[in-house]
């Protein structure tokens, strides 16, 4: 249910617009069947220089990230994508049915994020540890240029067919890269809200609402 409400929020669908919500439910079901996500992940050791985390021998360029992974002994790098077929279908529909194209794009964004939630939970179980909230390049003060590090370390072009443009945006578009700290005990969920969301200001935010529950 959460992924449906998130998709509706991304598309700017009002809670009373039953026709649009019915269409979104149908499209979201189609996304789950037609675009199975592919993902990769990797656990890497984390060193500390005082309160500054060192990843691959270099400082992690984010005070926000440092606070979220404080005390972690390692981090997990992860990436997920819906693949190029999704992007092609969004563009194709934009020519013939702009509303459906918009809804498909919103559904894909909500769906891939929800699937990464599941992947992250699975990683935690496999490691027998707890992961912090994940954070991505471009969130908070972690520069978007850090995408180059994740692409290099996860070998994303070879393994998932992802490409990083000169603008540092990814192709296929419905792809996410992220990091999370690894801990021995559960961590509070602290990365929530519009302040760290790369979709802000979305249609919901413009109405003074939020998708965070």
pLDDT, tens digit, for every residue of 19-47?
999 999 999 999 999 999 999 999 999 99
Task: For residues 70-89, give the mean pLDDT.
Answer: 96
pLDDT at 116: 97
Residue 68 banded pLDDT, cuts 50, 70, 90: confident
70 lies in some domain: yes
The mean pLDDT of 129-142, rounded to a whole number, is 91
| 213 in a structural domain | no
Distance CA 89, CA 24 (A): 16
Q: Is residue 76 part of a domain?
A: yes
**pLDDT value at residue 50:** 86
| Range with lowest mean pLDDT among 65-69, 110-114, 151-155 | 65-69
Residue 37 inside a domain? The answer is yes
pLDDT of residue 207: 63
Count of structural domains, the chain: 1
> Tell me, what CATH number does 96's domain have?
3.40.109.40
Residue 48 lies in a domain: yes
Element of type H or E holding 91: helix 84-96
In a domain, 136, yes or no: yes
Alpha-carbon distance of 114 to 91, in angstroms, equals 23
In a domain, 211, yes or no: no
Per-chain mean pLDDT for the chain:
90
Pairing of strands 52-55, 163-164: unpaired
Question: How many other C-beta atoms are found inside a 10 Å radius of the C-beta of residue 180?
Answer: 25
> How is 19-60 classified by DSSP, letter by letter?
HHHHHHHHHHHHHHHH---EEEEEEEE-EEETTEEEETTEE-
167-204 residue pLDDT tens: 999 999 999 999 999 999 987 765 555 665 655 666 66
Q: Indicate the Cα dihedral angle 212, 27, 168, 155, nearest 10°.
A: 100
**Structural domain containing residue 132:** 2-206
Give this prediction's pTM: 0.89
CA–CA separation, 72 and 60 (whole Å): 13
Domain assignment present for 156? yes
């Amino acid at each position: 249910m959460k992924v449906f409400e998130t998709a509706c929020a991304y598309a700017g669908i009002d809670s009373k617009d039953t026709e649009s919500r019915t269409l979104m439910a149908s499209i979201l079901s189609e996304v789950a069947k037609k675009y199975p996500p592919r993902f990769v992940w990797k656990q890497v050791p984390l060193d500390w220089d005082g309160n500054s985390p060192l990843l691959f021998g270099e400082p992690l360029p984010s005070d926000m990230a440092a606070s979220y992974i404080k005390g972690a002994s390692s981090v997990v790098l992860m990436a997920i994508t819906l693949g190029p077929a999704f992007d092609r279908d969004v563009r194709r529909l934009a020519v013939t049915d702009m509303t459906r194209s918009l809804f498909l794009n919103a559904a894909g964004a909500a769906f891939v994020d929800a699937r990464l939630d599941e992947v992250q939970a699975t990683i935690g179980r496999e490691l027998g540890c707890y992961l912090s909230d994940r954070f991505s390049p471009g969130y908070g003060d972690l520069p978007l240029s850090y995408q180059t590090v994740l692409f290099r370390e996860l070998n994303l072009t070879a393994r998932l067919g992802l490409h990083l443009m000169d603008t540092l945006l990814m192709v296929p578009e419905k792809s996410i890269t992220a990091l999370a700290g690894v801990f021995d005990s559960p961590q509070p969920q602290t990365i929530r809200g519009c302040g760290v969301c790369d979709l802000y200001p979305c249609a919901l935010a413009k109405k003074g609402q939020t998708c965070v529950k």
